Amino acid sequence: MNTSRSPLPVRVVALSGGVGGARLAAGLQQILAAGHLTVVVNTGDDFEHWGLTICPDLDTVLYNLAGIHNPETGWGRADESFQVLEEMERYGGEVWFRLGDRDLALHLRRTEWLRQGLSLTEITDRLRHMWAVPSRILPMCNEPVRTLVHTDEGDLPFQHYFVRRRCEPTLVALSFVGGEQARPTPDVLEALAEADLIVFGPSNPYVSLDPILSVPGMRAAIQRAPGPKVGVSPIVGGRALKGPAAKMMRELGELISPLTVVDHFGDLLDGFVIDQEDAALADAVILPTLVTDTIMVDGQAQARLAQEVVEFGLSLPVHPQR
């Protein structure tokens, strides 16, 4: 499902949460020369489950870049079975997070490696090599950061809010527990400094990209990076393509609009990409704007959008203040 063009020898860093960001990353991997993509991934929704450390966004990016993801959900493995989960129910274990058998093997191995003292960066690099993924996948930091969702029903760890409660409670605010102790890793800092382009994936601004940006030193490193920064809207026609971004915007008193995303990240961006459905909003965006089809229905659409984002991004003048 590759494009016919030759791979671009352009170094791109993509910031990503789960499904939306992972799909754009898969498109970028298709069009860039091997090894030229680095994905910096949110770890704020990592959690401990069944005694194991689970990193949903890292795994979604890994599975998408390896082409072994479940194409229907966007997360989890294709051809997955649930034997352990079924049995865990008998033992009174928690089954609201539907861990598949193949997926579970990864969590077991990662947890073993963490106990042996390997960093999450080292572990993630091992895993992507095991799947022959040509792109680098970097956790935003090695320290545990955990998104805590303050709701009208009290505080909920992210996966409890997101999966167990299906985002039903009303969002009041978010905090990233452990964030103060975290630092961007040397790998992340190096990738940002060397990037020809930095892409903010079409991920949830509040629970996917904000945790990344909350790591002390991360915003400054992005601002300092010489390459242009371009964002891709996760909001299309007044709805979120995936997940609770639209519901969160409403509950935070914001307009459900790409403009809200621009407001949120505007000081970091040199350009913004919105969907053709929102073409009428283009003039209201305070940044250079690309209007295109942002819906990634398949690998070809991923590659096409990636190509347009890269061409647009590289054409941008870098914000003068930096």
Nearer to a copy of itself, 40 or 85 (CB): 85
Q: How far is the CB of 50 from a copy of itself (least distance, A)?
A: 5
Q: Which two tokens stand for residue 236?
A: 């299309």
Task: Please report, as ranges, the residues that interact with a copy of itself according to CB under 8 A.
Answer: 50-52, 81, 83-85, 87-88, 90-93, 101-102, 104-106, 108-109, 111-112, 115, 127, 130
Q: Residue 229 has which token pair?
A: 């920064």
130-162 as b/e, with b when 16 or more CB fall inside 10 Å? eeebebbbbbbbbbbbbbbbbbeeeebbbbbbb
65, amino acid identity:
L
Output 5 or 90, the one with its CB closest to a copy of itself: 90
Tell me the C-alpha to C-alpha distance, in Å, between residue 75 and each of 2, 17, 65, 106: 22, 11, 12, 14
Positive or negative torsion for Cα 190, 193, 199, 201 = positive
CB of 157 to a copy of itself, least distance (A): 17
**CB of residue 107 to a copy of itself, shortest distance in Å:** 10
Give 121 or 204: the residue with its C-beta nearer to a copy of itself: 121
We find the least distance from the C-beta atom of residue 166 to a copy of itself, in angstroms, to be 24
CB of 173 to a copy of itself, least distance (A): 31
Helix (H) or strand (E) holding 151: strand 146-151
Burial 260-297 (b: 16+ CB within 10 A, else e): bbbebbeebbbbbbbbebbeebeeebebbbbbbebebe
Quote the tokens at residue 191. 């990738």
Residue 106: its H or E element? helix 101-115
Name the minimum Å distance from CB 101 to a copy of itself: 4
Nearest CB to a copy of itself, comparing residues 112 and 267: 112
User: CA 222 → CA 13, 76, 278, distances in Å?
Assistant: 10, 30, 27
CA–CA distance, 29 with 34 (Å, rounded to integer) = 7
Residues facing residue 274 across a β-bridge: 291
Q: How many helices (H) and strands (E) does the chain have?
A: 12, 14
Measured distance CA(43)–CA(141) in Å, rounded: 8
**Nearest distance, CB of residue 103 and a copy of itself, angstroms:** 8
Q: Of 130 and 220, which CB lies nearer to a copy of itself in the complex structure?
A: 130
User: Residue type at 155?
Assistant: D
**Nearest CB to a copy of itself, comparing residues 48 and 168:** 48
Nearer to a copy of itself, 81 or 276 (CB): 81
Shortest reach from residue 124's CB to a copy of itself, in Å: 13
For a copy of itself, the closer CB: 131 or 163: 131
